A and B are shown apart, each in its own frame.
Chain A
Amino acid sequence: MGTKRRAFTLVELLVVIAIIGVLVALLLPAVQAAREAARRMQCQNNLKQLGLAMHNYTSSFKESLPGGVGRYGCCWGTWQMSILPFIEAQNLADIYVNLGGADWGPRYGTAINRPVVSSRLPTLSCPSDIKNAPIGATATLLPVTSHNYGVNYGNTSFFQTPLNGIPFLGAPFRAYTQSTSDDGPIGAAAALTFPRVYGQHVTLAEIVDGTSNTLMAAEVLQGRGTDLRGFSWWGGASGFVTYLAPNSSAPDVITGGYCTSLTSPRMPCVTATTATRPRMMGARSVHAAGGVNVAFCDGHVRFLMNGIDYKVWNYLGTSQGSEAVNPDE
């Protein structure tokens, strides 16, 4: 038996295993990153669908975009109900009642509208974010869902008035415009003499900054539990403002005690509204790249980084600011 057997030594085997281990360790994060990149793409594609739905809406309704909220404020439908027929949810649009009305008819959370507001719209859900458990179930009522997109309410607050030295320079969607409070509840009688008209429709022609220079919609994060971020069937959570930078460390404002993520670094919030810090929410996401997906009013979508120049971000939020702006610079 003079022939020597050809074989690997133990050390050689260990080295091979170690190298394979290192390669796998290198690869696994890349796989996870690729998955997140795919999710981010899906979130961006949702925004594209949202943009197309808005444009189909304008084609059907005299060149005007839907109102951000209803004429009387919070609770009688938002843009989300308005675009249902354009995101292949005509069945839901058909059964929703009192869209844009007031308290002479049901609110969004009334039993008759619950089948609509309890549905989860896949087109408006970003898979990067955790879906919040639907809110407000009772023995007879279905719970209400949260989603991941808000429309552009301009560069100040949801009240769309000048704020801390920053002038309000137009927005493609109107919310609690010119409000000094949340004005409610608006009963049927009060609605007849209601001094303000919220959620006025804006036509594409009114976006004088150019539709490609004005944001239409952006990602928002869903709150946890009764935290109402992303609760976009309701006016108070139906949009974002560019007063807050993308994923800002400055907190959102949610009135009425619906801020339960006080300590979350990703989505800080406060409940107390003041004249210098009225109702507002920022564009937020959990994407690892550090930014948010946005759609512009011409329908194009892109990813904007957190560190975007605040001035540029502010300009992109206005529809009538006449600023010279290039988000690539």
Chain B
Amino acid sequence: MRQHPLAAWCCVAVCLASLIGCGKANPRKEVTGMITLKGEPLDQGVIEFHPLGEGTKELPATMEGAVIAKGEYKVPVEQGLVPGKYKVIITSGDGINPSNPDGMPEPSGNFVSKDRIPPAFNSESKVEVEVTSSGPNRFNFDVP
């Protein structure tokens, strides 16, 4: 008795094919953008997106954010934002932090540095954006 080789290879092919294509589309959205302070790209800081809506039961809204570097920020798609409205909070210390000469973590004076971003963009922020499922979700902010 002799099997047809083609049939055997078909079996193998079916087995292999069954391993492919089991992904689900990510409903979260990547969010990127450029932030300028007085016209210049903001060298460092933090941006946060606080949910204003509830999201859905399957996909509740969550707070995400990103580090700002050279003006650019990016919330990666894996931890992206659920479509909906968000309050934006931007903060950037003036970067003046005392150094720690003894090398071990202990406070050496007041670490809280001055915020270069006005309250209208953080503690009293009314800046809103809407993340959409169609995208592109690129939000630029010009901080005066």
Which residues of A line the B interface, CB within 8 A? 9, 11-12, 14-15, 18-19, 22, 25-26, 73-75, 107, 109, 136, 144, 164-165, 180-185, 228, 231, 234, 236, 243-245, 247-251, 255-258, 262, 265, 268-279, 306-313, 329
Evaluate contact between B62 and A245: CB separation under 8 angstroms.
Answer: yes
Given known contacts A184-B109, A274-B114, A250 and B93 CB-to-CB distance under 8 angstroms:
no
A256 to B106, CA, bound (A): 9
Evaluate contact between B12 and A22: CB separation under 8 angstroms.
Answer: yes
Residues of B within 8 A of A181 (CB): 110-112
Evaluate contact between A74 and B110: CB separation under 8 angstroms.
Answer: no
**Chain A nearest Cβ from B24, distance in angstroms:** 13
A183 to B110, CA, bound (A): 6
B7-38 CB contacts (< 8 Å) to partner A: 8-9, 11-12, 15-16, 19
Evaluate contact between A306 and B79: CB separation under 8 angstroms.
Answer: yes
B21-70 CB contacts (< 8 Å) to partner A: 44-46, 48, 50-51, 54-55, 57, 59-67
A327 to B87, CA, bound (A): 24
Evaluate contact between A275 and B12: CB separation under 8 angstroms.
Answer: no
Given known contacts A164-B89, A271-B97, A248 and B50 CB-to-CB distance under 8 angstroms:
no
Interface size for chain B: under 10, 10 to 19, 20 to 34, or 35 or more residues?
35 or more
A–B pairs, 8, beta carbons within 8 Å: A15-B8, A75-B106, A184-B108, A245-B62, A248-B63, A268-B67, A270-B45, A272-B94
A275 to B114, CA, bound (A): 8
Evaluate contact between A74 and B92: CB separation under 8 angstroms.
Answer: no
Evaluate contact between B123 and A248: CB separation under 8 angstroms.
Answer: no
Residues of A within 8 A of B107 (CB): 73-75, 182-185, 255-256
